[in-house]
Amino acid sequence: MTAAALVAAPEPDRDCPLCPRLHDFIADWRQREPSWFNAPVPTFLPPEGDDAVELLIVGLAPGLRGANRTGRPFTGDYAGDLLYSTLIAHGFARGEFKARPDDGLQLVGTAITNAVRCVPPENKPVGAEITTCRSFLVPTIARFPKLRAVLALGSIAHQSTVRALGQRVAAYPFRHSGRLEAGAVTLFSSYHCSRYNTNTGVLTEAMFVKVFSEIAEFLRN
């Protein structure tokens, strides 16, 4: 697949070469852990497909031993435990989350993606990688005709989402429990549900649940 075709699609090719550092990092882990997914992690969709999606959740990037290993966003690390339990409690997912892509859990009216689709070294994508991968975030947002709300987890995902929506970051500053009208959708923001944030008290479970309660109320109206 050519570079031009790659950036026109909402999902990267398995061997996407657009970010050489990330490509090489994944190639190394394919040698070290051949049973892992080790590729750009695709957007997790509800079984009804694109037309059912009203809420899109945007994380930062796959975790090395989380989504990079399992191939499903927020699956295999602590962040997924908190995210999926909260989704189930608010009716945005059904089933039981067992941290495996074959656990049968289904999303309800919701899709989950990342601002950067490939795992970055030390969980830290650089600016050029965030910018490059936005070429997939833009068509991902556009693929959902009934999209009403986007939840960005963390400041980097928030800023990239603001830019993907064609807005200025200065006009849409990140804050936890933020809510902003951004064109045709409403952008909600939360601190990322990482173990570091919860262990340090930056984000409590109650704070995270409150964000989803606000989104659920918004989508009911």
Pairing of strands 149-153, 106-107: unpaired
What is the predicted pLDDT for the residue at 183?
85
What is the predicted pLDDT for the residue at 8?
61
Q: Mean pLDDT in the chain?
A: 94
What is the predicted pLDDT for the residue at 1?
42
Q: Across residues 85-105, what is the average pLDDT?
A: 96
Per the domain annotation, does 1 fall within a domain?
Answer: no
Per the domain annotation, does 133 fall within a domain?
Answer: yes
Percent of the chain with pLDDT over 90: 93
Instruction: Provide the pLDDT confidence category of residue 63 given band limits of 50, 70 and 90.
Output: very high
Residue range 4-61, pLDDT digits in tens: 444 468 999 999 999 999 999 999 999 999 999 999 999 999 999 999 999 999 999 9
Per the domain annotation, does 8 fall within a domain?
Answer: no
Q: Across residues 58-76, what is the average pLDDT?
A: 97
What is the predicted pLDDT for the residue at 9?
85
Domain count, the chain: 1
What is the predicted pLDDT for the residue at 202?
96
Instruction: Provide the pLDDT confidence category of residue 65 given band limits of 50, 70 and 90.
Output: very high
Is it the case that residue 2 has pLDDT exceeding 90? no
Per the domain annotation, does 127 fall within a domain?
Answer: yes
Per the domain annotation, does 44 fall within a domain?
Answer: no
Query: What CATH number does the domain containing 129 carry?
Result: 3.40.470.10
Per the domain annotation, does 143 fall within a domain?
Answer: yes
Enclosing domain of residue 95? 60-220
What is the predicted pLDDT for the residue at 221?
86
Per the domain annotation, does 35 fall within a domain?
Answer: no
Is it the case that residue 3 has pLDDT exceeding 70? no
Per the domain annotation, does 138 fall within a domain?
Answer: yes
Residue range 146-175, pLDDT digits in tens: 999 999 999 999 999 999 999 999 999 999
More confident residue, 78 or 126: 126
pTM: 0.95
